[in-house]
Amino acid sequence: MLARNPEYTGYHVGKPSFTVTELRAAESCFTGKGKLIVKLIGLVTLFLLAYVGLSAIKTAQSYELANAKLQAKQLQQENDNLRIDIARLDAPERIYTMATAQLGMVAPSRVLYGTPDTAVGRTTDNQ
């Protein structure tokens, strides 16, 4: 049969021009050094991503700390203002003025000390 004769089909019977290991090496894009370089690049990329992530976290926490300090400063200022208001409102002169002018109260003309049986009286001349 002529069709099965290798000479008529264009096939060469014999040793191929390349070996299987050469074919596998050619099929693989990376050699041993190439794989090492890719691993190193991957490792460096991983470290860079970790560094950027940690820097972002640090920056966010820094902003939060600055905001907390600003809020504490504002609350301290408000606290100081409230203490000044309390001191001003507790002044006896202001209480006396408000009681007489706004509320229509009158200072007593006589002050009793002790119980009514043993009371010692004192008159006031504040009117």
What is the per-residue DSSP string for the chain? --TT-HHHHT---S--SS-HHHHHHHHSS--HHHHHHHHHHHHHHHHHHHHHHHHHHHHHHHHHHHHHHHHHHHHHHHHHHHHHHHHHHT-HHHHHHIIIIIS-----SEEEES-SSS-EEEE----
Instruction: Give residue-wise pLDDT tens across range 78-121.
Output: 999 999 999 998 999 999 988 999 989 988 888 777 776 665 65
**Residue 55: predicted pLDDT:** 98
pLDDT at position 34: 85
pLDDT of 60: 97
Predicted TM-score (pTM) above 0.85: no
Q: Report the pLDDT value the prediction gives residue 120, as an integer from 0 to 100.
A: 60
Question: pLDDT tens-digit profile of 5-59?
Answer: 655 555 555 565 656 566 565 556 567 888 899 999 999 999 999 999 999 999 9
Higher pLDDT, 13 or 69: 69
What pLDDT band is residue 68 in, cutting at 50, 70 and 90?
very high
Q: Is the dihedral of CA 19, 21, 25, 31 positive or negative?
A: negative
